Structure 1
Amino acid sequence: MRRTVFNEDHEAFRQTIRDFIASEVVPYYSEWEAQGYVPRDLYKKLGELGVFGIEVPEEYGGAGETSFKFSAVISEECARVGVSFGGSGVHTALCLPYLLKYANEEQKQRWLPSFVTGEMMTAIAMTEPGTGSDLAGMKTTAKLSEDGTHYVLNGAKTFITGGVQADRVLVCCRTSPVDPDDRRNGISILVVDTTSEGYAVGRTLDKLGLKTSDTAELSFTDVRVPVADLLGEEGKGFTYLTHNLPQERLGIALGAYAQAAAAVGFAQEYVSDRTVFGRSVASFQNTKFVLADCKSDVDAMQAVVDRALDALDADELTPADAASAKLFTTETAARVIDKCLQLHGGYGYMREYPIARLYADTRVTRIYGGTSEVMRSIIAKSMGL
């Protein structure tokens, strides 16, 4: 079926990204996986390419686009060859929406130009040891100084993607004590300079997949954060976090769909070239049926994400819609990629084959951005259950 969600501008951008990946990413990707992060130079190249400024208004050095579909193109093109741009997805898809919506004019002038060029990379720190999806249970605190000029930040965060290389981290913290009647109240977001005294990067976490994405533990010991670096209003942080969740979850859904589509492509190519018992693996009926099932699943995922993309651009994507898209695509992608790996036989278990990387990388999509169990709860609530 003809796909209508993208226009000529999106397709021209797709070719640009595809060429960039072929020349600047694929030849070095194994090396980046081994070291556990992409080089900082890649981020500057992405900045020069205009990737970080797509949705940033022109007055701050960006292109001023409002569509999320350009980000979808990037997800699809990276998955197509089994690579990623490290922590840059967090930089643009997670952090940027907060800066655009909640930063004041002075902050935008101060942060966005270097955000666009890649000179200032960002990350967001929500999760804490022992809290997981329960953001209202965070214990990191920021107390306003007596003279009202700065906050004193103390606490710890974990699973922070991009946390090793970030220059600014959007730290979610408590600026007032827990209210037993409303645990969500009193949470704020501070945009913390990572060179601040008392700010420390702990372990770089050894993950199952996403090997080029630096993920770290962070700690804060009496870190002084100027009040000028408070994002939005004090105490409104939880509301801010929930506002961006539909786009965040759609981004995860897009990635899962793209990975599944890529897996089918890798499997089809492999079984066509591989022979066993004197015949190509593709000639066996089981192979044909497995790939036919996978193709139909991918088609269904594509329909879901395309509809959700249109809804997001029209500002009509609800939290329940996004949860449904994420639940369906991530659970389905896991099954599809597993079947495609099986068709590779023993070679599918080798990381030199892209299917192995996809298998490992996609597992986290059912966890981050809200677990599948949380997605089911959101959907059920929207049904009045």
Structure 2
Amino acid sequence: MLDHRLGEEHDLLRETVREFANDVVAPVIGDYYERHAFPYPIIREMGKMGLFGLPFPEEYGGMGGDYLALGIALEELARVDSSVAITLEAGVSLGAMPIHKFGTEEQKRTWLPRLCGGEILGAFGLTEPDGGSDAGATRTTARLDEAAGEWVINGSKCFITNSGTDITGFVTVTAVTGTDADGRRQISTIIVPSGTPGFTVAPGYSKVGWNASDTHELAFDDCRVPQANLLGELGRGYAQFLNILDEGRIAIAALATGLAQGCVDESVRYAGERKAFGKPIGANQAIAFKLADMELRAHTARLAWRHAASKLVHGEPFKHEAALAKLYTSEAAVDNAREATQIHGGYGFMNEYPVARFWRDSKILEIGEGTSEVQRMLIARGLGVGG
């Protein structure tokens, strides 16, 4: 029988992160967001709290926690702001997790302690201008110069989170490294440290949302890194990426749940304060029913991501549940953001109100780390239908 009640440690973490989000993040994040500025002081404090090391072993500087702990932290942060939450999610799930799961002991010792402490951020370079959901269509190449003992990388990546901050330590990129015996392209993953000659970070994007997070296009022009920078097995890069994404979908689902709940919190508060025709608008059944539906979505979203996380933590197959959670929670976040904006009326269209950020931030949740269409495809396959 599944029990989604939190243990003492997880509950203490939830309270601690919620207090941090309310007292430290909420008062200042709107200014960072409007300036499209990365919130270095906030990220620094999150590092000191150990949030970037939550699911990693203590021997590498981590907190010795699990993926449920990470999800709890992400949900509480996203109740206030998604830019901060996605910085943590990408830093852990896409930056540090590949090193932890597939790195050599030397790679772990080199990178994980600084990643866990929030001193540096790692990024994962997968998406390319001509390859979004079709991640297997990678065009970036990495040729091994055996005489020099170096990989020579050429190509480009786009929409890469945490890739151009002042504290970005490296980007792990997927690249074609050869051809298998059956003629299929061999895709591997390679660590490229920031500042490597031939590795160029383009100016940040002008985005609809997540404006206080860091996102860039990357270019590699005869970029050379040591042969030892291969991450995991040669030719297993695509399989490794799929493994990372399955876990990452749970993290995104937790983040989406936080946004959905944040919409409820702000709307309930506003509905109790805003008066029309002599009474709070929350006294009107039309508004009350909207709030009830929003709470239902947030509650169900929480059950979905915690169910998937529980299976992951207990070593059970979780791919199907992760897709279910990612699909439901992302769509719940979009629906709640739309309704929250409607409840706030004209004020919901003003950036000074948190729900305006929530509305702008929600849509990407149906796209990033696997679109809603991809999730439906995965769920259908799990049912044995859909080809």
User: What's the TM-score bracket when you normalise by the shorter of the two chains?
Assistant: over 0.9
Q: CA deviation at 1:377?
A: 1.1
SS in 1 for 2:203: strand
Show the counterpart of 1:31. 31
Identity %: 35
Q: How does 1:1-385 map to 2 (within 5 A)?
A: 4-65=4-65, 67-85=66-84, 87-147=87-147, 149-165=149-165, 166-177=168-179, 182=184, 185-385=185-385
Shift of 1:121: 1.3
2:32 touches 2:212 (CA, 8 Å); kept in 1? yes
Q: 1:179: Cα distance to partner? A: 8.1
8 Å CA contact 1:351–1:357 kept in 2: the answer is yes
Check the 8 A contact 1:163/1:169 in 2, yes or no.
yes
- 1:267–1:343 contact (8 Å) kept in structure 2: yes
Instruction: Give the C-alpha shift of residue 46 in structure 1.
Output: 2.0
**Residue type at the aligned position of 1:50:** G
What is the one-letter code of the residue matched to 2:17? I
**1:159 CA drift (Å):** 0.3
Query: Aligned to 2:223, what secondary structure does the other structure show?
Result: strand
* Whole-angstrom CA distance in 2 between matches of 1:92 and 1:250: 12
Structure 2 distance, partners of 1:295, 1:93, is 28
Q: For residues 255 and 330 of structure 2, what CA distance do their matches in structure 1 show? A: 9
How much has 1:53 moved relative to structure 2?
1.9
Q: Matches of 2:229 and 2:210 in 1, distance apart?
A: 31
The 8 Å contact of residues 123 and 169 in structure 1, kept in 2 or not, is answered as: yes
Task: Tell me the alpha carbon deviations over residues 266-316 of structure 1, each in whole angstroms, 9 at most, x when there is no partner.
Answer: 111101100112221111111112212222222222222221121121122
Q: Compared with structure 1, are the counterparts of its residues 148 and 236 closer, same or farther at alpha carbon in structure 2 (3 Å cutoff)?
A: farther
Mean Cα deviation higher: 47-56 or 83-92: 83-92
Greater shift in the superposed pair: 291-300 or 20-29: 20-29
Shift of 1:72: 1.6
Separation (CA, whole Å) in 1 of partners of 2:232 and 2:361 = 34
The separation in 2 between residues aligned to 1:39 and 1:82, in whole angstroms, is 12
Q: Calculate the aligned-residue CA RMSD, in Å.
A: 1.9
Please tell me whether the aligned partners of residues 190 and 230 of structure 1 are also in contact (alpha carbons under 8 angstroms). yes
Asked whether the equivalents of residues 125 and 174 of structure 2 are also in contact (C-alpha less than 8 Å), the reply is yes
Alpha-carbon distance, 1:151 to partner: 0.3
* CA distance 1:270–1:223, shift in 2 (3 Å): same
Q: Is the 8 A contact 1:103 1:232 kept in 2?
A: yes
Between the aligned partners of 1:179 and 1:337, the Cα distance in structure 2 is 50
Note if contact 2:320-2:379 (Cα within 8 Å) is conserved in structure 1.
yes
Once the two structures are TM-superposed, the CA of residue 57 in structure 1 deviates from its matched residue by 1.8
**Letter matched to residue 118 of structure 1:** G
CA distance, structure 2, for counterparts of residue 207 and residue 355 of structure 1: 17
TM-score (norm 1): 0.93
Instruction: Judge which range, 228-237 or 318-327, deviates more.
Output: 318-327
What SS does the aligned partner of 2:225 have? Answer: strand
Whichever residue aligns with residue 169 of structure 1, its letter is V
Distance change >3 Å, CA 366–CA 357, structure 1 → 2: same
CA distance in structure 2 between the aligned counterparts of 1:381 and 1:228, rounded to whole angstroms:
37
One-letter amino acid of the structure 2 residue matched with residue 76 of structure 1: E
Cα pair distance change 1:194/1:82, threshold 3 Å: closer
Paired residue secondary structure (1:63): coil
Letter in 1 for 2:79: R
- Per the TM alignment, residue 200 of structure 1 is displaced from its structure 2 partner at its CA by 0.6
Q: Secondary structure at the match of 1:81?
A: coil
SS of match in other structure, 1:176: strand
State the number of aligned residues: 380
Shift of 1:241: 0.7
2:200–2:219 Cα contact (<8 Å) kept: yes
Q: In 2 relative to 1, CA 300–23 (structure 1 residues): closer, same or farther, beyond 3 Å?
A: closer
1:29 touches 1:83 (CA, 8 Å); kept in 2?
Answer: no
* Residues 33-42 or 89-98, more deviating: 33-42
**TM-score (normalizing by structure 2):** 0.93
Q: Is the 8 A contact 1:246 1:317 kept in 2?
A: no
| TM superposition shift of 1:119 | 2.2
Cα 1:344–1:369 shift into 2, 3 Å: same
Contact 1:90 1:161 in 2 (8 A): yes
**Shift of the alpha carbon at 1:181?**
5.4
Counterpart of 2:78, as a letter, is A
User: Quick check: 2:39–2:212 contact (8 Å CA) kept in 1?
Assistant: no
C-alpha distance in 1, partners of 2:300/2:76? 19
Structure 2 residue runs without a partner (length 5+): none
Aligned partners of 2:266 and 2:355 also within 8 Å: yes
